[in-house]
Amino acid sequence: MTSPHTWTLPVHPSAVQVLTNGYQSWSEAELRPLTDLQARAAYQWMLDQGQDPAFAPTGEAGVWRSHTLIALIREDGSGWVGCLMNARRTFAHWEARADGNHVTLTCTLEGPAAPVTLEDTADVLGTLEALSARLARNMAARTPPPLRVWCSWYSYYRSVTMADMLDNARQARDAGLPFDVFQLDDGFQADLGDWFEPSAGFGGHARDLPGALQALGFRAGLWLAPFLVGPRSRLRAEHPEWLLQAEDGTPMLLGDNWGGPYHALDTTHPDALAWLRTLAATCREWGYDYLKVDFLYAAAHPGRRHDPAVSRAEAYRMGLQALRDGFGDDGFLLACGAPLAQSIGLVDAMRTGPDVAPLWDEETRRVRLGDAAGPSTRNALHTALSRWYQHTWYQPDPDVMIARREQSLLNDHERGALLGLLDVIGGLRASSDPIHLLDQAGLELLRRSLNISTPDRPRGLTRQWGGAVTHFTRGTF
């Protein structure tokens, strides 16, 4: 941890809005009046899974925390942009504070020294884009053409079967739907870490899927949470020494999903790194050339590591590099639940918001529990829109369109908003709808959502929309 840079900005706190960038894919990013309150999640597992437990919002009005970069914007579009210019081994923790009649801005680095810039500008949005693009160049960003993906998660969840995958691929082929990739999500594996053994319900083995998908004309994609280890998994029993430790030296438990907390792999352990390389290489041998690697923040979680000299950012990057090395340079990696800037140059695409869900908003979790990282269409759009400038870092993945009318609480207006805003955000296009649930209108909506678009630049500052303060240029609703 280096000593912080501190600046005093000569502007009244009530005269600026702050644009924050949350820590990882699901963490909230937003544009808000500086004098407002930044939400802090009520439970530790939410801080672990949706914010940065080492740099979470304070719960104090007028204090805003942001990762990598921050912008302060006056009504006329002028203001300041602060940005870390190389995130390979370092986190930058920004805090803007309303301080009497001015604003105090601090930047604290966690990890080795790295260049940080603060620019005073007449055009905050333009400067933000320029600095983002420079960061992307400094880290040799990968932005291959975006793909159109069918993903099993948002309709089959963990009950997905081999037959569901093949039925949908066959129906998509028969309907001439322009998907590039069919991606199997969570549910096929025996446990977190035991990726080579099938779950009881999957009805097959993940290694047998790529050949069948390719025969139908699609590339094959697979989901992994490569840095997570289930408490009851075989991996946990065989290699407890590969796990991130709590202060007392026992394997740490963090987050809460799949009915409880889970362990994280210690990516500074050479044998754990070798295992990660083999894992990615094996998926490639099975015929997958697209991997959705999820819950990646776990490799950067605070804790005791085999090599204590390695920073959290660097430990994360070592794990991600091992996956890239195993999967090959020409494989497509989509990161999810991932520290954002620290992934530049190693991944092809990035989820830039929380999950879409077949409902608009889950107010209890968002408002009462202070956690906007939970799945909802509103949360997904709100955060992905607030990261529009990150399209130079990798292909943004704003998550799936939901075109179906069955098994969904979204109304026509909400479906229209989702379609229009996915178009504004750009990047990957995806769907999870069971093809047989789509009538003519549903198929038409799905086809429109699969049109690749160029990310839009916001025209104005803010707009009150659907309970979210955000900014965008156009939408078809």
Using the minimum distance from each CB to ligand 9PG, give the nearer residue, 324 or 351.
Answer: 351
What are phi and psi for residue 291, nearest 5 degrees?
-120, 130
Please check whether residue 172 is in contact with residue 150, taking contact to mean a CB–CB distance below 8 angstroms: yes
Using the minimum distance from each CB to ligand 9PG, give the nearer residue, 180 or 397.
Answer: 397
Neighbouring C-beta atoms of residue 35, cutoff 10 Å: 16
Give 44's contacts (C-beta < 8 A, 6+ positions apart). Answer: 53
- Tokens coding 131: 């600095």
Element (H, E) at 281: helix 270-286
Using the minimum distance from each CB to ligand 9PG, give the nearer residue, 289 or 355.
Answer: 355
Rounded CA separation 364/370 (Å): 9
Rounded CA separation 273/323 (Å): 9
Using the minimum distance from each CB to ligand 9PG, give the nearer residue, 105 or 357.
Answer: 357
Using the minimum distance from each CB to ligand 9PG, give the nearer residue, 129 or 362.
Answer: 362
Q: How far is the CB of 163 from ligand 9PG (least distance, A)?
A: 20
Rounded CA separation 173/2 (Å): 55
Q: How far is the CB of 336 from ligand 9PG (least distance, A)?
A: 5
Using the minimum distance from each CB to ligand 9PG, give the nearer residue, 57 or 62.
Answer: 57
Interface residues with ligand 9PG (CB under 6 A) are 26, 49-50, 153, 185-186, 223, 294, 336-337, 355, 373-375
Q: How far is the CB of 257 from ligand 9PG (least distance, A)?
A: 6
Residue holding tokens 């804790």?
303
Q: How far is the CB of 195 from ligand 9PG (least distance, A)?
A: 14
Rounded CA separation 398/291 (Å): 17
Please check whether residue 104 is in contact with residue 80, taking contact to mean a CB–CB distance below 8 angstroms: no
Using the minimum distance from each CB to ligand 9PG, give the nearer residue, 294 or 314.
Answer: 294
Q: How far is the CB of 170 from ligand 9PG (least distance, A)?
A: 23
Q: Where are the beta strands (DSSP E) in 23-163?
A: 30-33, 63-67, 69-74, 79-84, 91-99, 102-110, 116-121, 148-151
10 Å CB burial of residue 173 (0-12, 13-18, 19+) is middle
Residue closest to ligand 9PG (Cβ): 186
Using the minimum distance from each CB to ligand 9PG, give the nearer residue, 80 or 360.
Answer: 360
Neighbouring C-beta atoms of residue 404, cutoff 10 Å: 24
Q: How far is the CB of 84 from ligand 9PG (least distance, A)?
A: 25
Q: How far is the CB of 165 from ligand 9PG (least distance, A)?
A: 15
Please check whether residue 399 is in contact with residue 367, taking contact to mean a CB–CB distance below 8 angstroms: no
Annotate 175-199 with b (16+ C-beta within 10 A) or e (fewer): eebebbbbbbbbbbbbbbbbbeebb
Q: How far is the CB of 186 from ligand 9PG (least distance, A)?
A: 4
3-state secondary structure of 38: coil
CA dihedral (122, 126, 127, 133) in degrees, to 10, reads -170
Using the minimum distance from each CB to ligand 9PG, give the nearer residue, 13 or 337.
Answer: 337
Q: How far is the CB of 231 from ligand 9PG (least distance, A)?
A: 16
> What type of residue is 473?
T
Considering only CA atoms, which of 381, 404, 401 is closest in space to residue 467? 381
Rounded CA separation 81/18 (Å): 10
Rounded CA separation 76/476 (Å): 27
Using the minimum distance from each CB to ligand 9PG, give the nearer residue, 82 or 375.
Answer: 375
Q: How far is the CB of 271 from ligand 9PG (least distance, A)?
A: 26
Using the minimum distance from each CB to ligand 9PG, give the nearer residue, 26 or 179.
Answer: 26
Q: How far is the CB of 410 from ligand 9PG (least distance, A)?
A: 17
